[in-house]
Amino acid sequence: MHDAGKVIPGIIIFVVFVTLPFWWNVGKAVPKVEVELPKEYTSCVEDKSFMIREHMKLLDNWRNEVVRNGYGVYVNSKGQTFHMKFQEGCMKCHSSKERFCDRCHNFVAVKPYCWNCHISPEEKKGWATKKSNVETFSKQPASHH
């Protein structure tokens, strides 16, 4: 091989660099993510392990069924029925986005944009007090050319 003296150290440096996160964290305890579960309920629409693993697919499925296919009710694996609602469904039990959704999402660094449109329980409390510097303006006149 040409330039073995440069190529081999190069490969070694590359491998070390790529695996750096593993070396960095070796021997350290894995931080535990604790999400706050609703106190008054013991079960979700499906069992816990399914929800942890598949909640994003379930939610995606729900929104398609509601918005695109016109269904409103979900029948779970035990035959129980639930209204497929997010803001007015899921978040009624999981009454905090910050202490439930965000704790895990922040840890795994994902940023789902549900909350760009759906109003989180926190915002429900905060919106009214939020100062809006938006121009107030009265009834819009009928359009005229």
Partner 1 sequence: MFEKALVGSKKYYALVFFLASLFLIGLICFIYQMKVGLGITGMSRDVSWGFYIAQFTYLVGIAASGVMVVLPYYLHNYKEYARLVIFGEFMAIAAVIMCILFILVDIGQTHRVMNVALHPTPNSVMFYDMIVLCGYLMLNIICGWTALSAMYKGTKYPKWVKPFIYLSIPWAFSIHTVTAFLYAGMPDRHLWLTAVMAPRFLASAFCSGPALLLILLYIVKTFTKFDPGEKAIKALAKTITYALIANLFLFGCELFTAFYSGIPAHQHSLIYLFAGLEGHNKLVPWMWTAYACMVIAAILLVIPQVRNNLQLLPFLCLLVVIGTWIDKGMGLVIGGFIPNPLHEITEYMPTLPEVMISVGIWALGFLIVTVLYKMVISVMESRRLI
Partner 2 sequence: MGNKKIKRRNFLKAAGFASLAGAWAAATAGFLSGQRVKAQAVKPTPNSLVAGRWALVIDTRICAEHPECRDCIEACHKWHNVPRFPDKQHEIKWIWKTHFHNAFPYQSHEYDNEDVKKREVIVLCNHCEHPPCVRVCPTQATFKREDGIVMMDMHRCIGCRFCMGACPYGARSFNWLDPRPYIKEPNMAYPTRMKGVVEKCIFCFDKLHEGKLPVCVRACKYGALTFGDLADPHSKVNELLRKHFNIRRKVNLGTGPSVFYII
Contacting positions for partner 1 (CB under 8 A): 143-145
Residue 59 burial (C-beta neighbours within 10 Å; 0-12, 13-18, 19+): middle
Candidate segments 17-25, 30-38, 96-104, 126-134, binder of partner 2 by CB under 8 A: 126-134
Q: How many CB atoms lie within 10 A of CB 91?
A: 21
Look at residue 142 and give the partner it binds from partner 1, partner 2, none, a contact being a CB closer than 5 to 8 Å depending on partner kind: partner 2
Q: Smaller CB distance to partner 1: residue 6 or 145? A: 145
Look at residue 119 and give the partner it binds from partner 2, partner 1, none, a contact being a CB closer than 5 to 8 Å depending on partner kind: partner 2
Rounded Cα–Cα distance for residues 142 and 145 (Å) = 10
Q: How far is the CB of 42 from partner 1 (least distance, A)?
A: 38
Pick one of 7, 16, 20, 88: the residue that binds partner 2 (CB under 8 A).
88
Q: Are 84 and 74 in contact (CB under 8 A)?
A: yes
Which positions touch partner 2 (CB under 8 A)? 50, 53-54, 57-58, 61, 63, 65-77, 81, 83-84, 87-88, 113, 116-119, 124, 127, 132-137, 139-140, 142-145
